[in-house]
Amino acid sequence: MTDPTTTTPDRRPGGRTARIRAEVLAAVRAELAESGHEGLTMEGVATRAGVHRATVYRRWRDVGGLLVDVIEAAGEMDWHPPDTGSLRGDLTELNEEIQESLVERPSFAVALMAASFHSERAARAQSRLWEERYAQCEIVVTRAGDRGELPPGRTDARAVLMSATAPVYHHVVLLRAAPDPRLPERAATAAVAAAAAGAFLVRAGG
Amino acid sequence: MTDPTTTTPDRRPGGRTARIRAEVLAAVRAELAESGHEGLTMEGVATRAGVHRATVYRRWRDVGGLLVDVIEAAGEMDWHPPDTGSLRGDLTELNEEIQESLVERPSFAVALMAASFHSERAARAQSRLWEERYAQCEIVVTRAGDRGELPPGRTDARAVLMSATAPVYHHVVLLRAAPDPRLPERAATAAVAAAAAGAFLVRAGG
């Protein structure tokens, strides 16, 4: 994953290679959260991880390589969307998870977004991760349809998810407003109301 | 506005002080759009504006001062929210204006957002500007209520505006997806459907 040309023999999960990667990426997350991507250096990461600098340079090459790998590692996490039994419940729980990741201080998620404004590679890796996460979440809308919570016809699952989650990112990350504990549920409720009214139905030819 | 302690006599609109400010801020916008806030320097701005470096240092002090003033100048623009005769029309037009400002290349709006991740002062100035703009837009929801487009009771105008506009920012700025020409209208339509269904009604005690 990090460097397919490496001939290190021990690449099984739990092996030395995996352990070093885990230590280095934990250090990247800690450094990012503490001082942002501007404070991220190969030396700082190696020191914090207790790994030889030469190893870090050989496997990740530069700070951009570390950023891409830490984002890819987030995508490898065994994450599942909520399954509470209602669309409103699922979207509220999803929003609460998102809001929590954005308001914690220091926030690794916000540091990654800041980094992606300055590194094309990090931006692409982050777009891929988000694409994957939204794709994973489509099941939430599919299940709601199966339960009869949506009008007849095909509802655009991605549009429902965007409508529910975007206000949380907007409020916290872009507007930098004080977190509103009721926003996760309110944004979820609004998206459900719009979906129930057919606002996200895919029109023929649309 | 830029430095209340300055004793320059000629501060009337159209005077020399105002002209220099206009030239310097135009240079800041051009530099930001071309190379982002990381490429912004006092020297580059002075050269592009054709203004003495000493003047730029005296009046704006540092790059943070330039950023704050360019954001404040955006807030001084004579801007009015759309008034098309329907809530859906107004929110669609607002979203189209937002999307246009975000997808143009280079985008001054995106450069400002990137800068605000790195300058506390720029972030605060941007939050104030956004707060003002959302406050200005509340009239769009008030007018919809007066036209009978909303259910009885008080609709939270800010929540409607956030619900309508957040997906556009989210899609373009955070997800970095290709601009979707139908998104401005679709996000507006969804917000209107949710508002009509009472999803943004302010509950007693809430």
Encode chain B (206 residues) as per-residue pLDDT tens digits: 444 444 444 455 668 889 999 999 999 999 988 888 888 999 999 999 999 999 999 999 998 899 999 999 988 888 999 999 999 999 999 999 999 999 988 788 888 888 888 788 888 998 999 999 999 999 999 999 999 999 999 999 999 999 999 999 999 988 888 899 999 999 999 999 999 999 999 976 54
Cβ-Cβ contacts under 8 Å, B172 against chain A: none
To the nearest whole angstrom, how far is the Cα of A190 from the nearest Cα of chain B?
5
Chain A residue with Cα closest to B114: A117
Cβ-Cβ contacts under 8 Å, B173 against chain A: 174
Predicted TM-score of the model (pTM):
0.85
pLDDT, residue B37, reads: 80
Count of residues for chain B?
Answer: 206
Say yes or no: A162 contacts chain B, CB-CB below 8 A.
yes
pLDDT, residue B141, reads: 98
CB distance B186–A130 less than 8 Å? no
- DSSP, res A21: H
Could you tell me the domains of chain A?
A: 15-75 (1.10.10.60), 87-196 (1.10.357.10)
Using CA atoms, how far apart are residues B6 and A40, in angstroms rounded to an integer? 40
Low-confidence ranges of chain A (pLDDT < 70): 1-14, 204-206
Q: How far is CA A15 from CA A28, A59, B187, in A?
A: 20, 16, 48
Contact A95, A165 (CB under 8 A): yes
Using CA atoms, how far apart are residues B42 and B57, in angstroms rounded to an integer? 7
Say yes or no: A113 contacts chain B, CB-CB below 8 A.
yes
Chain A residue with Cα closest to B119: A114
pLDDT, tens only, A8-64: 444 556 688 899 999 999 999 999 888 888 889 999 999 999 999 999 999 999 988
CB distance B186–A159 less than 8 Å? yes
